[in-house]
């Protein structure tokens, strides 16, 4: 009796059973792998959360509407950085055309070859291509792209085809998946705006929203979280980037445990804006829908293209501000030891190709030429900075500080120097902010400055060869204070004070109250407070700084003398002459001893002494002293030096007090020309000589010119310094007096 036969096959397995002899022949045919399963739909856009209403984009939307109008066709490419709203524009067009029922609409994802292939074959199936032909194309027995495009060309109705997320254009080129057709319109969304694949297509750059539209987008999403002004401020803080607006607005609208206003949300953006933004995404959202992940896709693509240096270059850019950065500064990175392995030119080109940065032109002023710059978005830079490893961040921050320092002009005497200073000031502020975050914990700890410094040092000790965070701050503060001094010299006093104050705060927290750099930062604010008319505040702050300098450096140190000089100027303006005079005498004696009697700073102190003596009513020998000082300044510094101009101005004022108006007018005209040459037209310090000249002209009988000049000064000071500034008030009072024909020419 024969035994029972049984077997079981699993999956693709086979079982052969026989009770006698049996011959089995198998033939195996191998075909290329198919495109994978068909997508669930090509009739419905596969997009993330879209805004309730699409704001702005009027020009590109008008061009796209024209392309899908009866008889319209062609290929239109929407390109821009991740999160700028390219897909939202395509989605809005898709829905609009779909509602009008004038065209068949297809949505194809282009994230990878398999998705593109299967989706385009699904389009062919939707257009009536028989199943057998689809299967043959899927199995590689006939050209898939030709089949899909034959179906599109032979369609009975016009159509709209959206190729979304075509961030690797070579995928479209390899199989011939992108073609222009007579029967329909193709809209492509991509980050790669410069690819040769787009030759012949109409390209549309997509960037951030205009501020009013960005604010309205926030109000659309979270109408109860704030009013128009709060929305404008929040939109400005988020750089008007649609992805950031969408995430932030969605989070505010969906809060349950807490209900933040827009202002409260903005106050919580530091120190991790990216992390807070991503709370607005749905759970499990892909990288492309996250502020912290959308640009990772581009960086990964750059690395795959053989440009890993682009990541380092972008991390370096993230040390600075989302403002135009002069290209020569970035070019210098090619020769810096910390970025020696980065091929800056191709790395920058890669960032440009992937829309991570853009080229911009900063307008010049006066004789300054426009500057070619690179520009990156603030949310992108925040995201990249947050993701930079701690040790690499330390190296990049110090590199950024050294590159910034090397790019700074030696002075602010020319239009070009002033234009460069204005361009670099926001980058200095951003660099200081990044260094401060690097040196401090994410959450306030209540620790002292010394403990913070120790903690920063300890954290760096875990990474051999990495500079400790306190030393990073020290390295950054040098160029930041240089920028503050240059901004002061250029007449941009609010920017100078903002930088000096930020530097002082950071230095106190990280380095301590009595560190030399902390005292230097405090000293930098002194002359700015004087020029801004904040005399009492400046005297109180400079008094502390000077006392610190005495304790740390000693009473005869040049830094202590500098602090004393700035302090007495403030005391002078406050009318506290009995305090200012001995302090100035001490400074003058100390500078003469340390620096020499012909040194610029010594001669500056002598100019200040002339002004202070006049304020005190001490005119004995003042004219001879002023004439002597002018001669010494011309001999040691030159006739065009600004200290010589200052001495000439003081001499002219003394002549005016003596009733010698004609001589005073000549000297003041010379001083005014010197001020304009040294500071440039429109500098607020030029107005000080102008008002003295107006008084001298009035005393000399040139009333009309005196009044015209007085009006120019009053209007200029009001515009630059504000209506409440003491010098504006003095100019307005003199204008009223001169215009009324009063007696006030000497004073």
- The whole-number pLDDT of residue 43 equals 94
- The whole-number pLDDT of residue 285 equals 85
> pTM (2 decimals)?
0.83
DSSP characters over 263-319: HHHHHT-SS-HHHHHGGGSPTT--GGG-TTTHHHHHHHHHHHTT-THHHHHHHHHTT
Task: Determine the Cα–Cα distance for residues 568 and 611; give it in Å rounded to an integer.
Answer: 12
- The whole-number pLDDT of residue 18 equals 59
Take residue 630 and report the two structure tokens written for it: 């002018």
- The whole-number pLDDT of residue 745 equals 44
- The whole-number pLDDT of residue 337 equals 84
Which secondary-structure segment (H or E) carries 86?
helix 86-100
Distance of CA 109 to the CA centre of its chain: 33
- The whole-number pLDDT of residue 7 equals 55
DSSP characters over 492-527: -HHHHHHHHHHHHHHHHHHH-TT-HHHHHHHHHHHH
Which secondary-structure segment (H or E) carries 235?
helix 228-237
Cβ distance 35 to 138 under 8 Å?
yes
Positions of the chain with pLDDT under 50: 1-3, 5, 10-12, 27-34, 442-462, 464-465, 744-747
**437: helix, strand or coil:** helix
Q: How many CB atoms within 10 Å of residue 558? A: 14
Cβ distance 126 to 180 under 8 Å?
no
**DSSP β-ladder status, 104-109 and 74-79:** unpaired
- The whole-number pLDDT of residue 136 equals 93
**96: helix, strand or coil:** helix
DSSP characters over 629-690: HHHHHHHHT-TTSHHHHHHHHHHHHHHHHTT-HHHHHHHHHHHHHHHHHHH-TT-HHHHHHH
- The whole-number pLDDT of residue 464 equals 46
């Amino acid at each position: 009796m024969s035994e029972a036969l049984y077997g079981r096959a699993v999956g693709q397995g086979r079982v052969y059973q026989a009770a006698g002899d049996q011959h089995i022949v198998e033939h195996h045919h191998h075909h290329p792998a198919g495109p994978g399963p068909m997508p669930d739909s090509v009739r419905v856009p596969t997009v993330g959360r879209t805004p309730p209403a699409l704001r702005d984009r009027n020009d590109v939307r008008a061009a796209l509407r024209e392309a899908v109008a009866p008889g319209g066709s062609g290929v239109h490419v929407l390109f821009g950085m991740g999160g700028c709203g390219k897909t939202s524009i395509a989605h809005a067009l898709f829905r609009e055309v779909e509602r009008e029922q004038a065209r068949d609409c297809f949505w194809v994802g282009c994230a990878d070859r398999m998705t593109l292939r299967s989706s385009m074959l699904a389009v062919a199936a939707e257009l009536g291509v028989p199943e057998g032909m689809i299967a043959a194309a899927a199995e590689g027995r006939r050209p898939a792209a030709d089949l899909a495009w034959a179906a599109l060309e032979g369609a009975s109705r016009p159509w709209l085809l959206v190729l979304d997320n075509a961030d690797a254009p070579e995928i479209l080129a390899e199989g011939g998946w992108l073609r222009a057709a007579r029967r329909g319109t193709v809209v492509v969304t991509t980050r790669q705006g410069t690819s040769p694949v787009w030759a012949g297509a109409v390209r549309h750059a997509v960037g951030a929203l205009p501020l009013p539209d960005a604010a309205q987008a926030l109000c659309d999403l979270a109408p109860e979280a704030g009013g128009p002004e709060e929305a404008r401020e929040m939109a400005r803080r988020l750089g008007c980037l649609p992805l950031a607006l969408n995430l932030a607005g969605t989070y505010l609208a969906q809060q349950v445990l807490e209900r933040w206003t827009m202002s409260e949300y903005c106050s919580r953006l530091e120190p991790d804006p990216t992390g807070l933004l991503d709370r607005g995404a749905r759970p499990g959202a892909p990288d492309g829908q996250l502020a912290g992940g959308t640009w990772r896709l581009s960086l990964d693509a750059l690395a795959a293209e053989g440009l890993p240096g682009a990541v380092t270059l972008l991390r370096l850019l993230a040390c600075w501000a989302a403002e135009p950065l002069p290209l020569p500064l970035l070019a210098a990175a090619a020769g810096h030891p910390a970025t020696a392995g980065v091929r800056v030119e191709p790395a920058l080109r890669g960032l440009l190709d992937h829309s991570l940065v853009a080229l911009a032109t900063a307008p010049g002023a006066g004789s300054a030429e426009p500057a070619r710059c690179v520009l990156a978005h603030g949310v992108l830079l925040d995201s990249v900075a947050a993701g930079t490893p701690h040790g690499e961040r330390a190296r990049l921050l110090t590199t950024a500080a050294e590159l910034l320092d090397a790019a700074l002009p030696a002075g602010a005497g020319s239009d070009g120097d002033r234009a460069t200073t204005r361009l670099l000031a926001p980058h200095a502020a951003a660099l200081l902010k990044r260094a401060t975050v690097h040196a401090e914990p994410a959450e306030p700890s209540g620790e002292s400055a010394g403990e913070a410094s120790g903690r920063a040092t300890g954290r760096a000790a875990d990474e051999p060869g990495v500079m400790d965070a306190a030393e990073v701050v020290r390295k950054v503060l040098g160029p930041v204070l240089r920028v503050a001094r240059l901004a002061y010299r250029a007449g941009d006093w609010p920017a100078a004070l903002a930088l000096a104050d930020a530097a002082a705060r950071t230095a106190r927290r990280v380095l301590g109250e009595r560190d030399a750099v902390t005292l230097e930062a405090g000293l930098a604010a002194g002359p700015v407070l004087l020029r801004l008319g904040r005399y009492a505040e400046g005297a109180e702050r400079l008094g502390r700084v000077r006392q610190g300098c005495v304790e740390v450096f000693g009473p005869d140190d040049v830094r202590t003398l500098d602090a004393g000089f700035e302090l007495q100027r403030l005391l002078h303006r406050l009318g506290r002459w009995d305090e200012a005079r001995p302090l100035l005498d001490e400074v003058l004696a100390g500078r003469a001893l340390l620096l020499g009697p012909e040194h610029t700073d010594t001669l500056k102190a002598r100019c200040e002494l002339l002004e202070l003596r006049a304020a005190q009513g001490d005119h004995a020998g003042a004219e001879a002293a002023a004439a002597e000082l002018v001669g010494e300044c011309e001999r040691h510094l030159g006739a065009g030096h600004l200290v010589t101009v200052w001495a000439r101005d003081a001499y002219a004022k003394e002549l005016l007090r003596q009733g010698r108006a004609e001589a005073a007018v000549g000297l003041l005209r010379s001083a005014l020309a010197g001020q304009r040459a040294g500071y440039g037209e429109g500098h607020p310090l030029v107005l000080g000589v102008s008002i003295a000249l107006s008084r001298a002209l009035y005393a000399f009988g040139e009333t009309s010119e005196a009044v015209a000049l007085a009006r120019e000064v009053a209007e200029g000071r009001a515009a630059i310094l504000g209506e409440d500034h003491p010098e504006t008030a003095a100019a307005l009072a003199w204008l009223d007096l001169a215009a009324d024909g009063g007696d006030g020419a000497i004073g």
